[in-house]
Amino acid sequence: MHTRPSGSSRHAGPSSSAGQRSSGGPSAQGWCAVPGVDRIRAAGVVLLRRTGPVPEVLIVHRPHYNDWSLPKGKLDPGEQEIHTAIRECDEETGFQAVLGPRLPSLHYLVDGVPKVVHFWSAHSSSDEGFTPGPEVDAIRWIPVDESRHLLSHAAEAELVARAAGLPQTSPLILLRHTAAAKRSDYRGKDDSERPLSGKGRSQAKALVPLLDAFGITDVHASNAVRCHDSVRKIAKHLGTGVQHEPTMSEEGFQDRPERTARRMRKVILDPAPLVMCSHRPVLPTLLEVAAEVLGTAEMTSEDPDRDGVDREARWDPKLPPGGFIVLHRSFEAGVEPRLVAIERHVVASD
């Protein structure tokens, strides 16, 4: 029978002293590339809960290594890091994770091959129950301060401290609509009616788990068909509608750019987790307004490999169709809304 633990192992397993703490292993400081060898890619989460007097983190026991670590695992073929982080947490712990700010990546060598593990801070949206298995035979919620003693690798304990030091956040996702039919091929009179291409429809489907991973609840889009159809599937998945934003359309922006900026300021100050789907010519203004309102200083430390680009490039509005930028916003009482972290992603397509 499944019972929720209270700061102890959910399943009989090694005691808290099990697993010798390693001074080697993962490092957040960089890695030594092996010429001609691809990296092993993996992803995981620092799953936190703040229901008691002190924040707690979920750790897993791996019997093969006899260690305590964070939930993580290698990417499946064709999988993106976001998928992997969510899937591995679910498979190893039974908890459905909701991703927060991205954390520094860990790098190390496995049999001479470089391995990178991408991490996100996270909280859980549901608990489907833990089932012991050969890879993970026990899980524990522990106070964050104890992680430096119980986690077997110091670099993972550092990630826990970083994640626990961040405020709670709400994501604002700026999405460029997925691939549309070419303007030159479109025979209609109204460009706002131009539909998605076959590739764009596939991208819209692939976006659903990516956007859902960040826990969005509200879906906004330009009233152009290509924007509406880019987020229609995620809205259906969430059981909500698409809120049309005429000021976020190309035509609305061209007619009254100041109205677009004014509307964007209101959207930024809405604490709901949301996605806004707009167009390539509009995105620079949306990001400029975001920088004005939230600032550009991130609370997460710099990590050049966090998403393959440096901080300046993360603010680059030049997104490919279906690409999106996540602004993790903090809405603490008595404090102006501020940026905690920013990350960008490209949707994979066939």
Q: Where are the beta strands (DSSP E) in 136-191?
A: 138-143, 169-176
pLDDT tens-digit series, residues 84-115: 999 999 999 999 999 999 999 999 898 889 99
Q: Which of 136, 164, 192 is the last residue of a domain?
A: 164
Domain that holds residue 125: 40-164
Looking at residue 7, its pLDDT comes to 41
Query: How confident is the model over 126-138, as a mean pLDDT?
Result: 91
Q: Where are the beta strands (DSSP E) in the chain?
A: 40-49, 56-62, 67-69, 72-74, 95-110, 113-127, 138-143, 169-176, 218-221, 242-244, 274-278, 324-330, 338-345
Kindly state whether residue 150 falls inside one of the protein's structural domains.
yes
Kindly state whether residue 309 falls inside one of the protein's structural domains.
yes
pLDDT tens-digit series, residues 327-343: 999 999 999 999 999 99
Query: How confident is the model over 228-248, as a mean pLDDT?
Result: 98
Q: Are residues 81 and 201 both part of a single domain?
A: no
Looking at residue 277, its pLDDT comes to 99
pLDDT tens-digit series, residues 274-329: 999 999 999 999 999 999 999 998 876 555 444 455 667 889 999 999 999 999 99
Q: Are residues 201 and 336 both part of a single domain?
A: yes
Q: Are residues 52 and 199 both part of a single domain?
A: no
b vs e for 196-208, b when ≥16 Cβ sit within 10 Å of the residue's Cβ? bbeebbbbbebbb
Q: Are residues 132 and 213 both part of a single domain?
A: no
Q: Which of 164, 191, 212 is the last residue of a domain?
A: 164
Q: Give the relative orientation of helices 225-238 and 198-212 as an angle to the nearest 10 degrees.
A: 40
Contact 233/204 with Cβ under 8 angstroms? yes
pLDDT tens-digit series, residues 158-200: 999 999 999 999 999 999 999 999 987 887 778 889 999 999 9
Q: Which of 119, 139, 164 is the last residue of a domain?
A: 164
Residue 139: beta bridge partners? 60
Q: Which CATH number covers residue 189?
A: 3.40.50.1240
Q: What is the pTM of this model?
A: 0.87
pLDDT-based confidence at residue 29 (cuts at 50, 70, 90): very low
How many separate domains does the chain show?
A: 2
Kindly state whether residue 98 falls inside one of the protein's structural domains.
yes
Kindly state whether residue 20 falls inside one of the protein's structural domains.
no
Q: Are residues 193 and 148 both part of a single domain?
A: no
Asked if the model's pLDDT at residue 17 lies above 50, the reply is no
Q: Are residues 136 and 181 both part of a single domain?
A: no
Q: Residue 283 in 3-state DSSP?
A: helix
At 90, list the tokens: 């679910």
Asked if the model's pLDDT at residue 62 lies above 80, the reply is yes
Q: Which CATH number covers residue 59?
A: 3.90.79.10
